[in-house]
Structure 1
C-alpha cells in the first residue's frame, strides 16, 4: 500500500510504481492512499503520485525508490540429526536477494501420523539461514520458510514435506525357548526396517535386520538384546523392554525376574540438572531414570493476572533433554517433569522458574 499527504483541492489521486526495467503499475483513489497490485517480489520500484481536482492534473511527485516484499526463500532443506536421545530437524535455505531480510521457519505436522495429535511450531524472525527444531519421532511434517523486510512479509512459500525418525518398536516379546526364540514387536509408524542387537559386549552386534515384525534368534538373552526401528532419516532409540511367556520367566534367574518386576515399581523422580534461557527459548536437561521409557515435561507461564487461565505446555520426550521455543518475551515460566513407562509415572520434580529475554 502506498500513502501520501493530501493535496488541497484534490478530489482524486493517481499513483505509479515503475520498475528498474521500465514496467509500470498504477492505482487510483479519492483518499490519500491506494494499493498497487502486480508488483514482483524482490523488485525495486520508483513510486510517484499525481493529484487531480477533476479538471487539471498536477505533475507527478519526485519518485520514492523502495523495494517490494522479498520473495520466499528457495532451496529449503531438512536434515535429521540425533543429539543425545532425541532427534532434531536441522533446517536450512538459500538467502533472498534483498537487503535487511529476516527469516521465519515453521513446522506443522501429525505426531504418529495421527490427525488428532498435531504440532505447529515457528522460529523467531532471524537474519540467519538455518534453524533447529526438536522433533517427535514418527511424525509427518511440512516445513515452510518466509522472509520479510521493512516493506512487507513474503508471499505464501511452497512446503518441504517429510517424516521424522520412527519411534522405537513397542510391545517387544519373545516366544519359545531361548534357543531358538522368536522375537516380535508392534509396527512403528514410518519405519521401513527393524534391527535386533546383542548388547552383551558393550557394543551393538546386529543379530537380525528385517522389514517384518519378527526374527528367529538362537542363544537368546533378553537382558542383552535391544530392538530399533529405522527409515531413511535415521534409527530410533533402543528398546530393551522385552517380555516373554510366564514359563520362560520362571526358568530365568533372579536378575531376570527383577528386570520384569521393575516396571511395576515406583519410578524415581528425575533430577533436573540445568535450566537455561536464551532469548525466547528454554532448555532443560535431567538425569535418566531407570525403567523410564519417556518423560513428561510441563512448562507453565506464571501470570500476573490471577483470573487468566493459560493452559500449560505439556511435552512427551524420549531423551533426557528438551528445548521449548517461541515463548513470550519477559515472561516467567516454571518447568517440572516426571518419568514414565507403560505402567507407572513418577512424582513431578520441584518447579524451577526462569524469565525469558526481550527477543531472540
Structure 2
C-alpha cells in the first residue's frame, strides 16, 4: 500500500492488526523518483481477543475468564469484569485465562478482554456476561409440624438464586432434603425422636452457594409401645408399662371407657398408674410421648377391664325346713360369675358359686348368726365384695330331753339343754290315742299339768326364734299317772267270809292292789293282775272301807274307793 504526501509524514489507515509492516520512503519529482530509503519495520497493535468465555469456580468464588490467543504478538491480556453500578475488577495474564476473586455474590457482570504489547492495546473484546455464585441464604429457621412429623424450613431470599435446597442430617447420619424456588420448603421422612441440623444452599444454573449456618430442630418423639397393663384389684387402678421412646421427655397415658369415663396419668418414667377406674368398665388404653414441644402419634391401644362392680341389694331368705339360705342380688357390671360367702360367728365358712344372681347355701350350722357377702368375680379379680348382711339360721334341735312325772299331782315336767339360736320352745306330748297337749316356754323346761291318765305319751321339743322352728327333738316316752280303777264293785262270799272285788282293766296297769280296813281295825288285802281279787278272812258284821289301787311300778296312787259290808255272825 502507498501513501503520498507533500509533508514529511504520512498515515496508513488500512493496516491490519497484528501484522509486521516494512516501510520505505522515496521522493518523487515530475520525471523521476529517488531511490528508496533504508526500510523501517513496524508491528501493528494486537488483534482483539476472541472466543471469550467466563465461568465461576463455585467453591472458591473465583471468576475464571478464558479467551483464544490473539494474532499480532500479544504479550499479555487484561480481563475486566464490570458491575452495572460501574465498579470493575481486572486481572492480567500472559496466557489465555486469568482469575478474578472476591466478586460480589449473586451479581451479573460484563466481561471484556484486551490484548497488549509494549506499545499498544487492542480494542476490548466482544462483551461476555458472567453470573457469580448465589449468595448464602440467611435467617434459616426450622419449625416442626407435630401433626405429621415434618419440618417447615424458611430463610431469607438471596441474590442470584434460581432455587434452593435444604438438607437436614441427624447424628446417626439420616438425611432428609427438600427443594423449592421459594424461600421455604418442607422436610419429610424424618426419623422420630432425633435432633437434626439443617442447612440451605442457593442454586443457580451453574453453582450452588456455600451452605447456610446450621439451624437445629427436634423431630416428634417416637410412638411408645405398651408392653403391659396390670390390673390392681384392690386399688381400682391399672399399672401401665412401656418401652422407652426416642426423644421422649414425658408420657401421658389415657384410659377411656365406653360411657366416657376417663383416667389419665403423666410421668417421665416408663410406667404409671391409672387411678380410680370405674368398676365394671372396659377401658381403651393409649399412650403418647412428649418432648415439651410435640406429642408423638398415639400408641397402639390396649384393652383392660376394670374391677367388677360390687353386687348391690343383697337379700337372703332362710329355708327353715332345710336350714339353707337363698341369696339374691342385683346383677353387676363386668362380672363373669359370683361367689357367695357365709361366715358364722364361730368361724364356720360355707358358700356357693353361680353365673346368675341367685345362689343357695346349704349345710348351715344351726343356731348361728352368719355374715353373708357376695363377691363379683372376673377373670382377673375376685375382691369386689357387697355390703355384708346378717342372717340367723334355724335354731338347733333341743337335746338331752328329760320328762318326769309328779306322782302326787300327775303333772309332767319336761327339761332340755339350751339350743343355740332359740328364743322360745314348744314341748308337745302326743298320746297313743291321738291325744295331744303342748306347753310353751322361754326357758329350758315346761310342765304338762293335765295330761290324760293312763296313756303313753311321746314327748318332743321344738326350738323357735320367731322366724323358724327347729326340727323336733328326739322323743322321750312317758306313761302318765294311771287312771283310777273304773266300775269297781265288791260283794261278800258268805260261805267263805271273803269279799270279791272286781273292776275294769285299765290302760298300762301292771297289777291291782285291794286293801280293806274295818272299823274294828282289821286289815286285809289282795292283789291281782286280772280284773278281780278276793279279800280273805273278813270279820263279820263290819263295814270295810276298800281301796283299789292300780299299779305300774312307778306311781301307785291311782285309787278307787268303796265300802263293803261283811256278813253277820249266825248263832244257832
Q: What range describes the TM-score normalised by the shorter chain of this pair?
A: 0.5 to 0.7
Task: Using the TM superposition, give the Cα deviation of residue 106 of structure 1 relative to its aligned residue in structure 2, in angstroms.
Answer: 0.6
Structure with more helix by fraction: 1
Name 1:94's counterpart in structure 2. 330
Any conservation in 1 of the 2:426–2:438 contact (CA below 8 Å)?
yes
Is 1:213 matched with 2:444?
A: yes
**8 Å CA contact 2:395, 2:465 repeated in 1:** yes
Q: 1:78 to 1:40 in 2, by over 3 A?
A: same
Structure 1 Cα separation of the partners of residues 265 and 434 of structure 2? 71
* Alignment-derived partner of residue 343 in structure 2: 108
Q: Deviations over 1:292-336 (max 9, x none)?
A: xxxxxxxxxxxxxxxxxxxxxxxxxxxxxxxxxxxxxxxxxxxxx
Establish whether residue 131 from structure 1 lines up as the match of residue 360 from structure 2.
yes
Confirm or deny: 8 A CA contact 1:89 1:134 kept in the other structure.
Answer: no
Question: What RMSD, in angstroms, separates the aligned Cα atoms of the two structures?
Answer: 3.8
Pick aligned residue for 1:160 from 389, 400, 403 = 389
Residue deviations 1:40-90 (CA, integer Å, cap 9, x gap): 21244342211246775313335556542221111222222245xx52222
Q: Contact between 2:324 and 2:360, CA under 8 Å: does it hold in 1?
A: no
Distance 1:185 1:157, change over 3 A: same
How far 1:222 moved relative to its partner?
7.3
Higher RCO (Cα < 8 Å, 6 or more apart): 1
**Could you list the per-position Cα deviations for residues 171-203 of structure 1 after superposition, in whole angstroms to 9, with x for gaps in the alignment?**
323344262122222322221221111334698
Answer yes or no: is the 8 Å Cα contact 2:424–2:463 preserved in 1: yes
Closer/same/farther in 2, CA of residues 211 and 147 from structure 1, 3 Å limit: same
Identify unmatched segments of 5+ residues in structure 2.
1-237, 483-507, 510-572
Corresponding position of 1:236:
470
Write out per-residue CA displacement over residues 138-190 of structure 1, whole angstroms, 9 at most, x where no aligned residue: 11110110112245335332111121111122232334426212222232222
The 1-side partners of 2:343 and 2:324 are apart by 14
* Distance in 1, Cα, partners of 2:443 & 2:378: 51
Residue pair 2:337, 2:378 contacting (<8 A) in 1 also: yes
Gaps of 5+ in 1: 111-116, 255-360
2:385 is paired with a residue of what secondary structure?
Answer: coil
- 1:131 and 1:33 map into 2 onto residues whose CA distance is 44
Structure 1 residues 97 and 162: CA distance shift in structure 2, 3 A: same
Q: Contact between 1:80 and 1:87, CA under 8 Å: does it hold in 2?
A: yes
1:234 match: secondary structure: coil
For the 8 Å contact 1:5–1:32, the answer to whether it is kept is yes
Is the CA contact (8 Å cut-off) linking 2:421 and 2:465 kept in structure 1? Answer: yes
**Contact 2:377/2:384 (CA < 8 Å) preserved in 1?**
no
Selected match of 2:371 from 142, 165, 168: 142
Cα distance in structure 2, aligned partners of 1:70 and 1:43: 8
Corresponding residue of 1:303 = none
Maintained 8 Å contact 2:350/2:364 = no
SS in 1 for 2:313: coil
The aligned residue for residue 347 of structure 2 is: 118
CA separation in 1, counterparts of 2:403 and 2:289?
85
Residues paired across the two proteins, number: 242
Alignment of 1:165-244 (within 5 A): 165-177=394-406, 179-200=410-431, 205=436, 207-217=438-448, 218-219=450-451, 223-242=457-476
Contact 1:101–1:127 at 8 Å: present in 2 too?
no
Larger C-alpha radius of gyration, 1 or 2? 2
CA distance in 1, matches of 2:401, 2:475: 7
Aligned 8 A contact 1:172 1:243 in 2: no
Q: Matches of 2:240 and 2:349 in 1, distance apart?
A: 36
Structure 2 distance, partners of 1:150, 1:30, is 31
Residue 123 (structure 1) shift:
2.8
* SS of residue paired to 1:35: strand
Instruction: Indicate the SS of the match to 2:323.
Output: strand
